[in-house]
Every structure is written in C-alpha cells, then in structure tokens.
Amino acid sequence: MKSKPLPILLALTLLFTQLPTVCAQQGPSNDWSVVQQLKTNSRLMVRQKNGKEIKGKMIEATDSALTIDKEGKPMSIARADIKQIYVTFGRAQKGKWSLIGAGAGAGAGAGIGALKWSPDRDDSEIWIAMGLLIGTGVGALSGLAFGQSRRDRELVYSVM
C-alpha cells in the first residue's frame, strides 16, 4: 500500500502551528486577587449567579465584595453572588456595523423590490428603488443598534 505524504504533512503542519497558541492560552481564573488588582475605573461587566448582568466602572474589590460605579452611583456586589467578571475595552464600532447593516438591508430591499417588479405594469420599477431606499435605512439603524452593544471583553474571574 502506498502512503500519501501530503495529507500527513498538512496535518502535522496544522498541529505545530496551533500548538503554541493552545499552550499559551490561559483560562479564566477563580483567583479573587486578580479582581483586586484591576485598575480603578476599568469598565466591568459582572454576571451574577442569578443571571443578572451589571455594567459599571471598578471602584474597589475587598475580600468580601466588589464595588462598582453604576451610572454615577456606587453599588456593592457580594463576592458570593458573583459568577463571572469581564473587563470590557475598546470602543463600540457603530460606524462599521451601520455600514454592514446598510449593505445587507440594501441588498434585501432591492431583492424584495425586484420580486414586485413586473414588465407588464407601468411604474413598477419604483419598487426596486423604494426597496433599496427603505432596506438601506432599516439595515443601517439595525447595524447601529447592534454595533453599539459590541465591545471586546476579557473574562478575568469565573466561579463554577
């Protein structure tokens, strides 16, 4: 039986290129001292054990509680109630997602308008233009709303 070296070589290449990233990744820590070392005013997203999510800026972390600034008011969360803590960073990419939404909406609107178009009827070409116009607007607004909520975040604390 003849061996095929190309698939074996590709598999080994893939294995060795991914090995350093797999070994370097660290999972979320359940060490509370990581939370205590976070900088003041770091943006946090705290997921509680009851499922609620609270967003705010870091004030301090003691041995028993985490205090965050939620909309200008300090809020203390007991350490026992915390399931996960994420640090959020970066800016919301509203413009990028608005453009993506506008493009998708324009395509969908023009497609729907093209379905309504008929060569037998007068003024039926208006359907394509109106579908394009309405779809672009709806898509841009949807993309803006989606992009406003998207930020990069890193899990720094987790309790199972």
Q: Is residue 2 part of a domain?
A: no
Q: What residues make up the domain containing 14?
A: 7-91+151-158
Q: Are residues 99 and 72 in the same domain?
A: no
Q: Are residues 75 and 112 in the same domain?
A: no
pLDDT of 16 reads: 60
pLDDT of 18 reads: 57
Q: Are residues 81 and 125 in the same domain?
A: no
Q: List per-residue pLDDT tens for the chain, 160 residues long.
A: 566 666 666 566 655 665 444 444 455 567 888 888 888 888 898 999 998 999 999 999 998 999 999 988 999 999 999 999 999 877 767 888 889 999 999 999 999 988 888 888 877 788 888 999 999 999 999 988 888 776 678 888 888 7
* CATH code, domain carrying 33: 2.30.30.100
Q: Are residues 106 and 50 in the same domain?
A: no
Distance (Å, whole) CA 127 – CA 137: 15
25-55 in b/e burial notation, b at 16+ Cβ within 10 A? eeebeeebeebeebeeeebbbbbeeeeeeee
pLDDT of 3 reads: 62
